[in-house]
Amino acid sequence: MNDPRAAGRFDPDNRGEGVLLIYTGGTIGSMPSDPEDPDSPRVAIPWEEFRRRTPALNRTLADGSPNPSWIGFNVDAWWTEPRDSCNVGPAEWVELARVIESCHDRYQGFVILHGTDTMAYTASALSFMLPGLDRPVILTGAQRSHLFNARNDATQNLISALMLANPGFSRVPVIPEVTIFFNRTLLRGNRARKVNATGYDAYQSPSFPPLAVAGERIEADPLLLRPRPGPGRLRVRTALEPNVVPVSFFPGIQDGKLLEGILDDPRLRGVVLLAYGAGNIPTRPSVLEAIRRATARGVVAMAVTQCGGGRVELGMYETSVKLIDAGVVTGVDITPEAALTKLMVLLGDDDLGPAEVARLAQQNLCGEMSLGVYVTRLEQPGTVRLDAARPRHRFAARRFEGLDGRAGEVEELVLRLRKAECRTGGGRLAIRLFADLGPDEPADPGSDRLVGEFGRRPTDPAEPGRTMFFVITRAAHKLAGDRVSLTVALDTDDPAAVLTWESAEVAAFRPA
């Protein structure tokens, strides 16, 4: 869309410089519906009235004389029908993204006035919809509007957001991403959560520090700022998949059929599983089977924590290993709001199949996760079976994702053998992994090609199809390089010893 007037409204007085203020309504723009009754339900007022009642936005007073309360730079406006943010969703996000796209190069930055209830969703969605953004896009709102309250948080939030959106004027660094300014702090939008329904500190980003703090001066943290992509890099993504849902686990969900009802719905394309703690769910077979049925037909399932902070560590407890077995990917410390909108945007891209969406969902795309998970699938002809007679499998040489030049930063590197089974006749069994072991070289534990040596108990016959994990972090540097082959070798003299697996992958957990 080239003409932003086509949707919403573009103020005829706009000059095309300074900051573009995008007004959508919310508490910051709301007043009592009955002017005689201050306690009557509040409704968002039209933009023209909002502007009239907001002195900082007006260069002159009604009589044409200079306004001493003017912010000091030009603020243009675009507005939608004013609404409570409960009525903002994907259609409005697309409108906002298009306005920013069409006006991107004309303004120093953008401020979106928005209700607080769904601000984190809009900020998260826009962060994924606006890759290549070279300007600040700052959402803000208020718990108490300045329109009818002398004591309010709206004025500070609005003025500080406008200042941050005009870095040249305010002498702050350019923060070229989607953020939320609230109660003194500028937060990365896809890390922020509404944590207080009434307090002025409504927004926090539990797993990421504020990008800037506004006190007597506005101080940005230079270590947290992303580099500017430069002009001409903005690529707006406006296709969003609507059939994505969050499902929060609760004690008792395993007893009913509701979860299966959601997961078996043929329209479902993506699900955010709000798991307990570090990614745990009830292990009742009906729950796991329902998840497995969904992922098997291409639904992308992502686990996030329902705690206020911390991260998902799939594989830490028995109850979360089963999520990996069921084809669930990890969201690490992504917020539920960012997980939902990330899946909407990735699944909306027709060029990406479910496997590719699942792969990208675990990677850090725009600062939403502290760690990215880079998964390299290892090709193999079919099920691999190792035993005393044929004790080795060598995967073809390849490049492992996430290790390029950064092997030293990897927090965890793990080989996963999926649907793996191990049996012995009671004898000793060791599993050794090697990097670039030649076909004739001995699988010797003293070899400097050794990546790790592991013991494994025989698989419980009652629980077939489990994923076997081998943590090989300390040998990450041995797998870094353009073409490295990985060899799995059994060391046993037990003629009944067998190790089989159906597919294999290496996952690197690396800081974003």
Q: Could you list the active site residues?
A: 27
CB 484 within 8 A of CB 383: no
Cβ nearer to ligand ASP, comparing 46 with 458: 46
CB of 227 to ligand ASP, least distance (A): 33
Between residues 86 and 512, which has the closer beta carbon with respect to ligand ASP? 86
Rounded to whole angstroms, how far apart are CA atoms 281 and 298? 21
Nearest to 153 by CA among 259, 28, 289, 305: 28
Q: How far is the CB of 54 from ligand ASP (least distance, A)?
A: 16
- CA-to-CA distance for 290 and 485, rounded, in angstroms? 36
Per the document, the length of the chain is 512
Spatial contact of 470 and 454, defined as CB atoms under 8 Å apart: yes
Cβ distance to ligand ASP smaller for residue 12 or 41: 41
When the beta carbons of 193 and 393 are compared against ligand ASP, the nearer one is: 193
In whole angstroms, the minimum distance from the beta carbon of 27 to ligand ASP comes to 3
Alpha-carbon distance of 180 to 158, in angstroms, equals 11
Closest CA to 272 of 297, 252, 243: 243
Q: How many other CB atoms sit within 10 Å of the CB of residue 53?
A: 16
Q: What are phi and psi of 79, to 5 degrees?
A: -145, 155
Smallest distance from ligand ASP to CB 143, Å? 6
From the CB of 125, what's the least distance to ligand ASP, in Å? 15
Closer residue to ligand ASP, CB minimum distance, 115 or 270: 115
**485 neighbors 396 (Cβ within 8 angstroms):** yes
Binding site for ligand ASP (CB under 6 A): 26-27, 84-86, 115-117, 141, 143
Question: Which of these, 104, 201, 102, 182, lies nearest to 139 by C-alpha position?
Answer: 182
Name residue 450's amino acid.
L
The nearest distance, CB 178 to ligand ASP, in angstroms, is 18
Please, how many CA atoms are within 13 Å of residue 181, restricted to the half-sphere of its CB?
Answer: 31
d(CA 409, CA 394): 26
* CA dihedral of 140, 165, 93, 120, whole degrees rounded to 10: -40
Q: Select 8 or 26, whichever has its Cβ closest to ligand ASP.
A: 26
Which residue number is nearest to ligand ASP in terms of Cβ? 115
